[in-house]
Homo-oligomer: A and B are copies of this chain.
Amino acid sequence: MENNKYFIGIDIGGTKITIALIGEKGEIIYKENLQTRENLDKNIASENIINTCKKIKNNFSSKNILGIGIGACGIVLYEKGNIKFSPNIGWENFEIVKNLEMALGLKVILDNDANAAAWGEFFLNYRETFRNVICITLGTGVGGGIILNKKLYRGSSGTAGEIGHITYIHNGKKCSCGNNGCIERYIGTKGIIEFAEEMLVKIKNKENPSYEKFSDSMLFDIQKKEKILMPKFIQEAGFKGDKLALFIWEEFGKILGILIASMINIFNPDAIHITGGISHAEKLFIESLKKEVEKRAFSVPRETAKIIFSEERQDMGVIGAGLLLMEN
């Protein structure tokens, strides 16, 4: 048997369950997808996941497989090894860790998918150089993963890191969480789209003389054609020099900068790691972001904290899940 360590990673998402054999450098040796819709019953899911893991164990019996790490969407009880509620799939009280440990005789760790991905990023990129890293994932939501002293910080009941739901405007827009004015509501996908749409209305209505320069924005045409002004369209327009698109990204950078400055003042981290589709637009918002951070963060922690944008690495969910076994 070779000396290298291997892990089975399981990434449970709303549309598919990915199961993979992962090496200790994060390499994927083998990967298989199950369709979530065929696993809505948790007993069936349990059986299918166990069978796939068994197959991997048998097919790679020469490899030193140390355990299984699971990253799951929904509310996950880390210490109990229980998926409490997974709204997209409908599972409740799924004791997945116990099931898998009994059937497979391997150590199993369960965490939420954001933590698993953040851990993967930290372990593969930063563990030699940094101790404290705040990971921010920008997408539909704004997710957080907190790594302190080289370990995931999970909080007292496993829910730490909901940085998308700190209050940005206290009497602001209603968020999906029920609260008003969460920062996610402004820099998540929905917030960006809404801001762009609101701007188009204001420009049409000539609400503000300073918006006149935006009146020939290509976003008007794009909206007609595409119906929804997805961030990728605003990004393309920005790279083509469209003034309104550039303005939208500038505003986005300001708000993200405020979030980052608060994280720097609270955590004094070595780095803020930012991933998600929107990181492609980095060049369009980095200046306004940096200006805001410089204005708002204290100098000592600001000089310490590196702000790093990275494309979301495909399969980081399943890789990070597998690597959870390397946390302790």
| Interchain CB contact under 8 A, A165 and B267 | no
| Interchain CB contact under 8 A, A132 and B155 | yes
Q: Is A167 an interface residue (CB 8 A)?
A: yes
| One of B148, B154, B298 near A268 (C-beta < 8 A) | B154
Closest approach, in angstroms, between the C-beta of A170 and any C-beta of chain B? 6
| Alpha-carbon gap, A121 to B300, bound state (A) | 26
Q: Please, which residue of chain B has its CB at the minimum distance from the CB of A259?
A: B167
| One of B75, B177, B266, B301 near A163 (C-beta < 8 A) | B266
| One of B158, B268, B270, B295 near A159 (C-beta < 8 A) | B268
The 10 closest A-B pairs by CB, nearest first: A155-B268, A166-B262, A160-B268, A162-B265, A157-B304, A159-B268, A156-B270, A159-B301, A179-B296, A165-B265
| Interchain CB contact under 8 A, A261 and B167 | yes
Q: Is A153 an interface residue (CB 8 A)?
A: yes
Q: Is A238 an interface residue (CB 8 A)?
A: no
Closest approach, in angstroms, between the C-beta of A1 and any C-beta of chain B? 35
A contact face: mostly helix, strand, loop, or mixed: loop
With A144-B266, A148-B148, A161-B268 given, can you name 12 additional A-B contacts, CB distance below 8 Å?
A132-B155, A156-B304, A158-B268, A158-B300, A162-B268, A163-B265, A163-B266, A165-B265, A165-B296, A168-B170, A170-B254, A177-B298
A–B Cβ pairs within 8 angstroms, 20 of them: A75-B300, A131-B156, A148-B148, A154-B268, A155-B269, A156-B301, A156-B304, A157-B300, A157-B304, A158-B268, A160-B266, A162-B265, A163-B265, A165-B265, A166-B262, A166-B265, A167-B168, A167-B262, A170-B258, A179-B296
| Alpha-carbon gap, A262 to B166, bound state (A) | 5
| One of B156, B162, B262, B268 near A132 (C-beta < 8 A) | B156
| One of B162, B268, B300, B301 near A266 (C-beta < 8 A) | B162
Closest approach, in angstroms, between the C-beta of A10 and any C-beta of chain B? 23
Closest approach, in angstroms, between the C-beta of A248 and any C-beta of chain B? 17
Interface residues of A in 145-184 (CB under 8 A from B): 146, 148, 153-163, 165-170, 177-180
Q: How many copies does the complex hold?
A: 2
Closest approach, in angstroms, between the C-beta of A246 and any C-beta of chain B? 20
Interface residues of A in 288-314 (CB under 8 A from B): 295-296, 298, 300-301, 304-305
Interface centre among A75, A158, A301, by most chain B C-beta atoms within 10 angstroms, is: A301
Residues of A in contact (CB 8 Å), total 46
| Interchain CB contact under 8 A, B148 and A153 | yes
Question: Which residues from chain B contact A157 at a C-beta distance below 8 Å?
Answer: 268, 300-301, 304
| Alpha-carbon gap, A146 to B148, bound state (A) | 12
| Alpha-carbon gap, A13 to B29, bound state (A) | 59
| Interchain CB contact under 8 A, B300 and A159 | yes
Q: Please, which residue of chain B has its CB at the minimum distance from the CB of A269?
A: B156
Question: Which residues from chain B contact A167 at a C-beta distance below 8 Å?
Answer: 168, 258, 261-262, 296
| Alpha-carbon gap, A300 to B166, bound state (A) | 15
| Alpha-carbon gap, A265 to B130, bound state (A) | 24
Q: Please, which residue of chain B has its CB at the minimum distance from the CB of A258?
A: B167
